[in-house]
Amino acid sequence: MSQDIKKKLDRVFNPRTVAVVGDKQMNNYMWLRNMTSFRGKAYSVQIDPNEIPGIEALGFDNYYSLLDIPEPIDYVIVAVPREVAPKIIADCIKKQVGGVTLFTAGFAETGTEDGIRLQKRITDMAKEAGLSLIGPNCMGIFNPKIGLRNGFNQYYGEGGPVGFVSQSGTHSIWFSLVGALHGIKISKSVSYGNAVVLDSTDYLEYLAQDEETKVIGMYIEGVKDGRRFFKLLREVTPKKPVLIWKGGQTEEGQRATASHTASLAESPVIWEALIKQCGAIKVDSLDEMVDVTKALLYLKPTTGNRVGLIAMTGGQSVVITDTFAKAGLRVPLLTEASYREFASFFNIIGSSYRNPLDISSNFGSVELLMRMVDILGRDENIDSVVLELSMAFLAIIRQRAEKFLDDLLDALTNFKDRSEKPFLTILIPGPEETAALETRARLVERGIACFPDFARGANALRKVIDYYCFHSTSGELSHGEKEL
Amino acid sequence: MSQDIKKKLDRVFNPRTVAVVGDKQMNNYMWLRNMTSFRGKAYSVQIDPNEIPGIEALGFDNYYSLLDIPEPIDYVIVAVPREVAPKIIADCIKKQVGGVTLFTAGFAETGTEDGIRLQKRITDMAKEAGLSLIGPNCMGIFNPKIGLRNGFNQYYGEGGPVGFVSQSGTHSIWFSLVGALHGIKISKSVSYGNAVVLDSTDYLEYLAQDEETKVIGMYIEGVKDGRRFFKLLREVTPKKPVLIWKGGQTEEGQRATASHTASLAESPVIWEALIKQCGAIKVDSLDEMVDVTKALLYLKPTTGNRVGLIAMTGGQSVVITDTFAKAGLRVPLLTEASYREFASFFNIIGSSYRNPLDISSNFGSVELLMRMVDILGRDENIDSVVLELSMAFLAIIRQRAEKFLDDLLDALTNFKDRSEKPFLTILIPGPEETAALETRARLVERGIACFPDFARGANALRKVIDYYCFHSTSGELSHGEKEL
C-alpha cells in the first residue's frame, strides 16, 4: 500500500478549509447548509449577484473567485453548470487546493457528445496537474467528526468505525442514515460518481490506512483498473473486513450503470469469484450491507456454525429453524447436561426445548428467560445464541411495562458482555411496527445486535462466520467446523 | 369436491352460538374477551367457583356443564387442562355441537406417553362420533364478519376475500394483523394444530367452496393424506390461487415441526415439485405470503414479464434494475415513440430514461411524474409499471406537503384504475421509517400495491405472473412471453 495516497487524501478527507462554488437558492443552498456543521472555515464562491444576499444571510463569506479567498483551501465542492466546470477546475489547480468534489453532472453518463467531451477535458486537466478530483456526478466526502456532510440530515460531532466508498450518492447517504439507526456510525465516506481521476481503489487504499476505520463497505458500479483493485483488496481483507456491493450484476443493470456513472459492463461471475478469492464479503443490497456490518461490529467472532435458537412460539420455532438451516447453519441437539437442566424446570405443555426452543408457555419472567439463554451460552454443542424477541415481547412493550424492558435489557447486555459466543436477537415487527422501532432503538443503545427477520439475521451470521473462517490463521477451527 | 364438508363446516365457521369451556383469570379470560365482538350468543362453561365472578363480570352467562346450556351450540372452544379434554369432548358429542376447537395443548407434540395416549383417545372419540374437531393445540377459527376471533387485537365487522389455513396460531394471527396493514382482509381463517381429525385438506376443500374467499393461503407442517391433498389442490388452483408455505423444509426444521404439531417429516423436494405441478404458489415466509397475496389482490393480471422501472435517483435505478432482472423479469428498451416523447421534455443532466428511468432532476411536480408514468403505461414493450417512491418522496412527506401527497395519490389511483397493466410502487423506508409507515397506510387506503423493497416487489410480481402463465387457458401469451 502506498503512503502517497494516504498523504494526498488526508488533506481532502480532513480539511480545515472548504470552499463551495456555485451554490444557489434553487437548490435551497444545500451545500452551504450542509457546511453549517463544519468545524473548520467554509467559504462561498458565487458570481451571481442575485444569489449573494441569500448566501451571506446563511453567514458565509462570499468571493467572486476561488483565487480571491485569502487562505489555502483544502477541499472544494463544485456545483456549477457543467460548461463552467473546466474554468473552476483551472482555478482549483492554480489555487493548489487539496482536492475537489465535482457535484456537477451531465458528463459521459449522458451518452452525449458534449458530455463526453467535457468529461475528457476536466479529466485531462486534473490528471496533468495531479489534482485530486472526486467525481464528477457525486456527493463527495462525509466526515462526521469534523462536521463535513453530504446532506443536512446526516449526523456530526462523533463518528464511528465504518468507512464507506460508494459510486452512488443515494447509497452513501442512505447507508449513513439507515446505519445510524442500527448502531453503525461512519468514520469517513465518499460518494465518487464517474471516477475519472480517483477511483474506488484509491479510496480503499486510503481507508485501509485510516486508523479510525475498522470495517470498509463499498458500492461499486465499475473499476478502472481491476488488477490493481483486486491485488489491493487481497491485502486489505485480512486486516479489515471489506464488504462489496456490486451494482450492475445483470445485463439490464449494466445499462443502468452506464447511464448513472458511465461505468462499463463487467462480468458479475468474475466479480463474485474475485470477491470470494480475496476474502472480501459480497453483499447485494443496502439492507445486507447494514446487516453484515452490524454483525461484524456487534457479534463476538466465531468460526463455528452451530446455533442455539430460542423462539417465542411454536410456529416461529419452525420458521427460525428452517431459515437458519437454509442459510447453511447447523441447529444441533444440545448436550445431555443441558437437557437435564431444562427437564428440571421447563413446562413442556405448549413448549419444547430440543433446539430450537419454543418458550411459549415458559415466558414468565426475565430470570426464567435468562436461565434458558444461559444454558445455551454454556452448551458445548452451540457456537452462537439467537433469541427471538417478537410476539409476546412486543405485546408487553406495548403495554408499557417499562420496568420489565429495562430489566430484560440489563440482563441481555450482561449476557452479551460476558458470553464468548455471538449473541443476536431477532425483533420481527409483525403488527407492532411502531413498538418494534422504539424497542430496536433500545437494543441498539445497548450494543445488542438486532435483526428485523430470521433470514436477515441468519444471513449476516453466515457471512461473518465465512469471513472469520477464511481469515482464520491459527489453523485451529472450532468444534462446529471440525465436525463438518 | 364434496358438498358434505361444506355443509358440515359451514356451521362451525359461521356459528350463531359459541361456548368457551375452561377460560380462566390466569389467561386474562382471553377466549371470552375475544368473544366480546361475537355477533351471536356466547356462553361460558366453568366449574371453578373462583373463576365464575370474573367471567360474569365480563357479561357472560356461565354454566357448570355444556349440557346445561339451554340451546344448541354451533362452536365450542376448549381451554381445559389436557386430562379433562376427553370429558369435554364427550359432552360435545352428547350435545351434538357443530364443531370444537381444542386450544388445549400437551398431546403427541410433547413426545410423552401421556400426551400420545390422550391424543389417541380424543381422536378415537371424535372420529367415532363424526365430531368436527379442530386441533388440538391450536387457536381455531377467525371469522371477522361475525366477530369470531382468535385474539383481542384482531379486527371484526368487515372481512375480506382471503382465506387462511394455518397449522400455527402465530402465523394465523400475524397474517391477519400484518395483512390488514397491507390491505389484506380475511374471509375466514383457521389455526388447526395437530390436525387429528380435520386436516388442511378439509379446510382447503371448505374454503374452495366458500363464496367470500377468492384467494387461499396455507401454512402447513404436514398433511395426513398427501394424495387427497394434492388431488384437491390441483382442482382448486385454476379457480382460486392457493399460496403454500411449508414449515419443516430442513431436517432441523422437521425436528421443530415434530415438537410443535407432532407432524411427520416430509420431503421438501417433493412438496416443491407438487406445489408447482398443481399450479399453486410456493412462498417461504409470512412476508412473502403477504406480498404475493397483495399482488394477487391489487395488481391487474398479466402473463407478460417486461417491466418499466422508475427510480428516484441514479443509485436506485441500478439496484431496482438488478433486482427485477435477477427475479427473472425483463427490463427492455422502450419504443421509439416513447423515446421521442421523453426527448421532448426530459432533462438528462443528472437523470436518464432508457429504462430504467432515473428521474432525480425531473421530479418537480405531480404532472411531470404522471407524464412519465403514462408513457410507460402506453409503451407496447412494457407489461408492468413499477414506481419507486422513496428518497425525494418521503422527504417531501416529512415536510408535510399534504396537498402534494393528496394530488399524487389521486393521480396514481387514477392511473392504476385506468391502466390495463399491473402498477406497483416501492416505498423503501430508508431512514424515514415513520413517514414510510404513514405513507404506506395512505397507499393501502387507495388500493395501490406498495412493497417495502425492490426484492419483495420483484418477487411478488414474478410469482403472480407465473401463476397467470400456468393457468392461462386462452393459449394466447402476451408479447413478453412470445419473445422468450
Q: Which residues in chain B have Cβ-Cβ distances shorter than 8 Å to A105?
A: 349-350, 361
Tell me the Ramachandran region of residue A106: left when phi exceeds 0, alpha when psi lies from -120 to 50, beta otherwise.
left
Angle between helices A169-181 and A433-445 (to 10 degrees): 80
* Average pLDDT in chain A: 94
Q: Is A308 helix (H, G, I), strand (E, B) or coil?
A: strand
Nearest chain A Cα distance for residue B1, angstroms: 29
Nearest chain A Cα distance for residue B132, angstroms: 22
Nearest chain A Cα distance for residue B317, angstroms: 6
When pLDDT is cut at 50, 70 and 90, the band that residue B479 belongs to is very low
Contacts with B236 (C-beta within 8 Å, 6 or more apart), sequence order: B1, B204, B208, B216, B242
B480 touches chain A (CB under 8 A): no
Contacts with A166 (C-beta within 8 Å, 6 or more apart), sequence order: A172, A175, A189, A190, A191, A192, A217, A218, A219, B315
Nearest chain A Cα distance for residue B316, angstroms: 7
* Average pLDDT in chain B: 94
**Per-residue pLDDT at B398:** 63
When pLDDT is cut at 50, 70 and 90, the band that residue B483 belongs to is very low
Express each pLDDT in A193-242 by its tens digit: 999 999 999 999 999 999 999 999 999 999 999 999 999 999 999 999 99
Mutate to test the interface with B, among A167, A170, A192 (most CBs of B within 10 A): A170
**Per-residue pLDDT at B476:** 42
pLDDT of residue B290 exceeding 60: yes
Inter-chain contact A177–B431, Cβ cutoff 8 Å?
A: yes
> Count of CB atoms within 10 A of residue A16's CB?
16
Instruction: Name the residue among A275, A162, A155, A143 with its Cα closest to residue A220.
Output: A275
Contacts with B344 (C-beta within 8 Å, 6 or more apart), sequence order: none
> Count of CB atoms within 10 A of residue A473's CB?
6
Q: Which residues in chain A have Cβ-Cβ distances shorter than 8 Å to B250?
A: 321-322, 325-326
**Per-residue pLDDT at A393:** 72
Please give the ipTM for the structure prediction: 0.94
Express each pLDDT in B154-172 by its tens digit: 999 999 999 999 999 999 9
Mean pLDDT of B204-228: 97
Contacts with A338 (C-beta within 8 Å, 6 or more apart), sequence order: A375, A376, A378, A379, A381
Grid cell locating B108: 403427541
Contact A139, A173 (CB under 8 A): yes
Mutate to test the interface with B, among A318, A326, A399, A427 (most CBs of B within 10 A): A318
| Partner-chain residue, chosen from A106, A169, A253, that has the shortest CB–CB distance to B318 | A253
> Count of CB atoms within 10 A of residue A308's CB?
25
Inter-chain contact B247–A352, Cβ cutoff 8 Å?
A: no
The answer to whether domain A3-295 and domain A299-473 are alike in fold is yes
**Per-residue pLDDT at B478:** 40
Q: Which residues in chain B have Cβ-Cβ distances shorter than 8 Å to A174?
A: 391, 430-431
Q: Which residues in chain B have Cβ-Cβ distances shorter than 8 Å to A324?
A: 252
Q: Which residues in chain B have Cβ-Cβ distances shorter than 8 Å to A352?
A: 109-110, 259-260
Mutate to test the interface with A, among B318, B347, B391 (most CBs of A within 10 A): B318
**Per-residue pLDDT at A478:** 40
**Per-residue pLDDT at A482:** 37
Domain boundaries of chain B, sorted by first residue: 3-295, 299-473
Residue B452 corresponds to which amino acid? P
Question: Exposed/middle/buried for A465, CB within 10 Å: 0-12, 13-18, 19+?
Answer: buried
A404 touches chain B (CB under 8 A): no
Q: Is A2 helix (H, G, I), strand (E, B) or coil?
A: coil
pLDDT of residue A19 exceeding 90: yes
Nearest chain A Cα distance for residue B354, angstroms: 8
Tell me the Ramachandran region of residue B223: left when phi exceeds 0, alpha when psi lies from -120 to 50, beta otherwise.
beta
**Per-residue pLDDT at A484:** 33
How many Cβ pairs closer than 8 A exist between chain A and B?
206
Express each pLDDT in A62-92 by its tens digit: 999 999 999 999 999 999 999 999 999 999 9
Mean pLDDT of A341-365: 93
Question: Which residue on chain B is closest to A259 by alpha carbon?
Answer: B352
Mean pLDDT of B222-228: 95
Contact A196, A122 (CB under 8 A): yes
CATH number for the segment(s) A3-295:
3.40.50.261
Mean pLDDT of B121-133: 98
Q: Which residues in chain B have Cβ-Cβ distances shorter than 8 Å to A361?
A: 105
Inter-chain contact B315–A171, Cβ cutoff 8 Å?
A: yes
C-alpha distances out from residue A127 to A4, A89, A95, A122, A261, Å: 16, 11, 16, 8, 19
Inter-chain contact A325–B430, Cβ cutoff 8 Å?
A: no
Distance CA B226, CA B271 (A): 10
Express each pLDDT in A136-146 by its tens digit: 999 999 999 99
Question: Which residue on chain A is closest to B166 by alpha carbon?
Answer: A315
Mean pLDDT of B86-110: 97
Contact A137, A104 (CB under 8 A): yes
A452 touches chain B (CB under 8 A): no
Contact B165, B242 (CB under 8 A): no
C-alpha distances out from residue B234 to B1, B274, B275, Å: 11, 9, 9
pLDDT of residue A304 exceeding 80: yes
Phi, psi of A329 (to 5 degrees): -100, 155
**Per-residue pLDDT at A346:** 96
Q: How far is C-alpha A440 from the chain's CA centre?
A: 18
pLDDT of residue B474 exceeding 70: no
pLDDT of residue A56 exceeding 90: yes
Cβ within 8 Å of A, B 257-276: 257, 259-261
Inter-chain contact A322–B453, Cβ cutoff 8 Å?
A: no
The count of residues in chain B is 484
Q: Which residues in chain A have Cβ-Cβ distances shorter than 8 Å to B321?
A: 250, 252-253, 255-256
**Per-residue pLDDT at A397:** 64
When pLDDT is cut at 50, 70 and 90, the band that residue B370 belongs to is very high
When pLDDT is cut at 50, 70 and 90, the band that residue B266 belongs to is confident
**Per-residue pLDDT at A400:** 61
Nearest chain A Cα distance for residue B170, angstroms: 6
Contacts with A79 (C-beta within 8 Å, 6 or more apart), sequence order: A20, A21, A22, A23, A24, A27, A31, A103, A104
Residue B390 corresponds to which amino acid? S
Contact B201, B233 (CB under 8 A): no
Mean pLDDT of B48-52: 97
Tell me the Ramachandran region of residue B350: left when phi exceeds 0, alpha when psi lies from -120 to 50, beta otherwise.
left
Cβ within 8 Å of A, B 24-43: none
pLDDT of residue A390 exceeding 90: no
**Per-residue pLDDT at B2:** 76
Distance CA B443, CA B424 (A): 11
Mean pLDDT of A175-184: 98
Higher pLDDT, B465 or A403: B465
Percent of chain B with pLDDT over 70: 96
Cβ within 8 Å of A, B 319-358: 319, 321-326, 330-331, 348-350, 352, 354, 356, 358
Q: Which residues in chain B have Cβ-Cβ distances shorter than 8 Å to A221?
A: 318
pLDDT of residue B30 exceeding 80: yes
Mutate to test the interface with B, among A322, A330, A357, A396 (most CBs of B within 10 A): A322
Instruction: Name the residue among B4, B235, B257, B226 with its Cα closest to residue B108.
Output: B257
Express each pLDDT in A234-258 by its tens digit: 999 999 999 999 999 999 999 999 9
Inter-chain contact B322–A247, Cβ cutoff 8 Å?
A: yes
> Would the CA dihedral through A111, A112, A116, A119 be positive or negative?
negative
CATH number for the segment(s) A299-473:
3.40.50.261
**Per-residue pLDDT at A477:** 40
Question: Exposed/middle/buried for A340, CB within 10 Å: 0-12, 13-18, 19+?
Answer: exposed
**Per-residue pLDDT at A392:** 66
CA atoms within 13 A on the CB side of B289: 32
In which element (H, E) is residue B264 found? none
**Per-residue pLDDT at B245:** 98
> Would the CA dihedral through B373, B379, B384, B386 be positive or negative?
negative
Inter-chain contact B431–A180, Cβ cutoff 8 Å?
A: yes
Nearest chain B Cα distance for residue A449, angstroms: 18
Residue A409 corresponds to which amino acid? L
